[in-house]
Chain A
């Protein structure tokens, strides 16, 4: 079969003979450096790239947040204009959710899932690269709106006809992260060029197409990961032996493939309204703006669980490790995760209590929302049960994981308050809501993800982050976070509305806004310090053993950094928490007789996923330019669609390829456990 390679097994991919794909093009398999990273299909490198981009966007979103807090530090402030303020909070929310948390979770999925299930790669390595680069394309499109905005502020476009014809000039998205119609949509009748009058500038068009592209990336990655987890488990790795992080990834991926189509359709409809004069949400033609809210939250509420379940999975790995106990109630934790995922689709209207749904739907959604607190509470009790009676070791990941439980619980409590519709109608659109979801998403998810970073960083790079810096950073994050968002509960109940550019003195909001701003800066410095510590560690950090925490799951049985083939010989699993059982229990990890001199099959690297993603970049840049009436912008879109199809076509035709890599054939057992590294 021409699909398969003719290579003899090699020790390093640099020894490979030049190989041509079915298309006759040279495969980029033997490349190093930048070429290697751009064409990689290795899930570990893709995970690192996801992580690097996510951390960058976290800092960018953080800068946007600090600009918001600076503006709100004192009453009647004019640090930024109201127009810029709208763009800042919109891009802050969108960036943190879609370019910060989701890709950072994806970084963990990529790096860990194959290692935790005993596989050598994901099911579709090139599709995985496509997900990464499509995410990069989407993030570029979203943030390109800032470039246009700065061009506008600097007056670069003054002489252009298209610029003079613009009614609204907010180039960055300015509708909030949910872009409610009709504000994001159109009104009146479309003209001959199919443009109906709009309420907002082209920033909304950047937002629509950027999110659409990010959706493609998330969907492709989720198909890949469900396939990998269901289909590529090592021998003996039954579903109920999967590490909890893998389980939560599976549930998250299922949520993504079922929830994202709703936003995809909503975005298509909004795009047709804005760019082709359709009437889905156009009130003057009978369109119902409330439909946008329903479609958005049918996606948006599962999205909340898409954000939080991976962090819950991470914490479920960290707590047992540093408590020296197995996870309390593993099946219940897994089941609760599945119930949360299922109920997550049945509570979307609690975001819309004040829209007047009627008594019965409101009561039903209130009840279902209260019900979702049950599986969440079950998880928290299970985590407490895990720590209970354990021999607790305090390490940076453990401190952050414990912080996660506390902060997430606070967010959960105010969440239960929102579930009561009468209470919610008072809290709606106030700072109380801001406080609630930041406790969930920042105090919860970000702390969980940071815990994960500090936990697995030694595995990823074989270097240990400095604990002292990590403790200082964690302390600043937790302190700054509570200082910033704790007072917002009070501010909200005292009547301070969301999304307002400024407030007058004498409303009773001055003090706590100032405190919140100080907290935000402490938090910002803390996150920066935590990330800087990691980046420094990746290059210069102190080398550490392959199992510095006395880890429980399969990834800790591998050398650090993990070799490109992952497992020299495929493992055979006979217990949950396979590696701790192997070290201290009766169930040893067995190994198959693959690998060694015969080599293991490695997928070939490819340019095609990136080429296809480049098509998305052109589509994403072209559509808003079309909305700006920039001449010939339509050709950019057409070229983008062409390149997308060309990339996919060449991708199919080049064949999967592959080569054989020799693995060490000596001892197959994991690195021996020294007496000092074990606390048992």
Chain B
């Protein structure tokens, strides 16, 4: 029987496991995916630096819309979730299933906090007058950050399934460690993408006295 197990995991030409390789390939593809979305946002931001107009015709500035403290907090939380994910992968490699569960539960909770912050942020922005329909900024902002949020949500769902799967006793050994590592690769990638989004969508709005796009403070409110 052990021979059977060996043959289904025959050594690969490169020495890299299939699952790990295919995840790297997926991430390469996802780079282009987020690259396209982020480019769209930046192009329109440059084209329309003055922000957006709400349903009542009031002009809004992005600087005043963002709640940078909240977003910084959720960014920090997501960064820390990556740290816990690394610990979870390491624990799995050492066969410490309990430590794995503890850490992965931490990742799940941190991921949910991030998603909660995003839901709060979206609702808040909506009440401030920013909708997907009333401006190009609304369209690019919600679709970009929403797509990232969907990635986080899928990651959380994946980790929840792995967490419960670990109680069946089937998650273990080389295969189990590989499965967790692959989920970890995905999670770290989603985190890195957020670092980029946080920088080029949020932080640069606060660069210099008038923001990166050269817009000043709100004219009317």
Contacts and interface: CB of A to CB of B under 8 A. Distances in A.
Nearest to B174: A1
A261 B36 contact: yes
Given A268-B143, A269-B143, A223 B22 contact: yes
Interface stretch (B105-113, B117-125, B132-140, B210-218): B132-140
B136 A286 contact: yes
- Give the top 8 A-B pairs by smallest Cβ distance, nearest first: A261-B33, A261-B32, A278-B139, A277-B133, A265-B36, A231-B12, A257-B29, A601-B7
A656 B8 contact: yes
B21 A231 contact: yes
A272 B139 contact: yes
Given A4-B5, A223-B22, A233 B13 contact: yes
A123 interface: yes
A276 interface: yes
The winner among A226, A260, A279, A594 for most chain B CB atoms within 10 A is A279
B161 A649 contact: yes
Interface in A240-293: 257-262, 264-266, 268-269, 272-273, 276-280, 285-288, 291
Contacts of A285: 134-136
Nearest to B12: A231
Interface stretch (B40-48, B72-80, B199-207): B40-48
Contact of B13 (A231, A594, A600, A658): A231
A383 B143 CA distance: 48
B175 A3 contact: yes
A660 interface: yes
B1 interface: yes
B116 interface: no
Nearest to A231: B12
Contacts of A280: 40, 136, 139-140, 143
B132 A276 contact: yes
B48 A286 contact: yes
Given A232-B12, A261-B29, A266-B36, 10 more contacts: A4-B8, A6-B1, A219-B29, A222-B25, A223-B25, A227-B18, A230-B14, A233-B13, A291-B40, A660-B4
B36 A295 contact: yes
Interface string B30-55: 10110111001001100110000000
Contact of B4 (A5, A226, A288, A298): A5
Given A227-B22, A257-B28, A279 B14 contact: no
A224 interface: yes
A222 B147 CA distance: 23
A679 interface: no
Interface in A465-516: none
Contacts of B173: 1
B33 A265 contact: yes
B29 A258 contact: yes
A434 interface: no
Interface of A: 1-6, 22, 123-124, 189-190, 194, 196, 219, 222-224, 226-227, 230-233, 237, 257-262, 264-266, 268-269, 272-273, 276-280, 285-288, 291, 295, 298, 594, 598, 600-601, 649, 652-653, 656, 658, 660
Contact of A194 (B12, B33, B47, B133): B133
Contacts of B142: 278
A230 B21 contact: yes
A262 B7 contact: no
Find the residue from A1, A295, A652 having the highest chain B CB count within 10 A.
A1
Nearest to B38: A265
Contacts of B4: 4-5, 601, 658, 660
A232 B173 CA distance: 23
B136 A279 contact: yes
B107 to A, nearest CB: 19
18 contacts: A124-B22, A230-B13, A230-B21, A231-B12, A231-B14, A257-B32, A261-B29, A261-B32, A261-B33, A265-B33, A276-B132, A277-B132, A277-B133, A279-B133, A279-B135, A287-B139, A600-B7, A660-B4
Contacts of A653: 165
B139 A227 contact: no
Contacts of A265: 33, 36-37, 40
Nearest to A273: B139
Contacts of A222: 25
Interface in B6-26: 7-8, 12-14, 16, 18, 21-22, 25-26
B221 interface: no
Nearest to A287: B136
A124 B1 contact: no
Interface in B131-163: 132-136, 138-140, 142-143, 147, 161
Contacts of B35: 261
Nearest to B144: A265
A278 B25 contact: no
Nearest to A276: B132
Nearest to A228: B18
